[in-house]
Amino acid sequence: MDGRLDIKEIWSLLPHRYPFLLVDRVLSLEPGVSIKAIKNVTINEAFFQGHFPGEPIMPGVLILEAMAQTGIIFAKKTDPEGLKGKLLVFAGMDGVRFRKSVVPGDQLVMNLRSIKRKSILWKMDCKAFVDDDLVVESILTAAVQ
């Protein structure tokens, strides 16, 4: 496996669907180590109707959600048997920094690196980029339910 996943495989791993599915493709994946995924941002996104009319900016919380969904894909590909049928949810966000706005036409590239896994908790170092510019960074923690 080259670590690339298309939307059909993403659907098989995430419970999210339109308008809340925020990962379009996985570019690389090394189970237990790291993942790189993309979200293509278009003006057709429902949230741009109100955020902000005339000045569309992707909400920061949705960028964090896209990173979290990338983390779920990473976890489920790292431990497919242990997480089969399980739901992963946010358990924490540390050191969140919003560096630049994300606008229609951007391609959000999310790089996540595993920090540690302990019991039901997964902790990941997450960075999102547009082109080579860092737009958001955070340490995200997910919990298995």
Active site residues per annotation: 51
Angle 102-108-109 from CA coordinates, rounded to 5°: 145
Angstrom distances, CA of residue 142 to CA of 70, 72, 73, 75, 120: 11, 8, 12, 9, 8
Say whether 27 sits in a helix, a strand or coil. Answer: strand
Burial level of 35, CB count in 10 A (0-12/13-18/19+)? buried
Distance CA 51, CA 71 (A): 25
Distance CA 123, CA 100 (A): 24
One-letter amino acid at 13 equals L
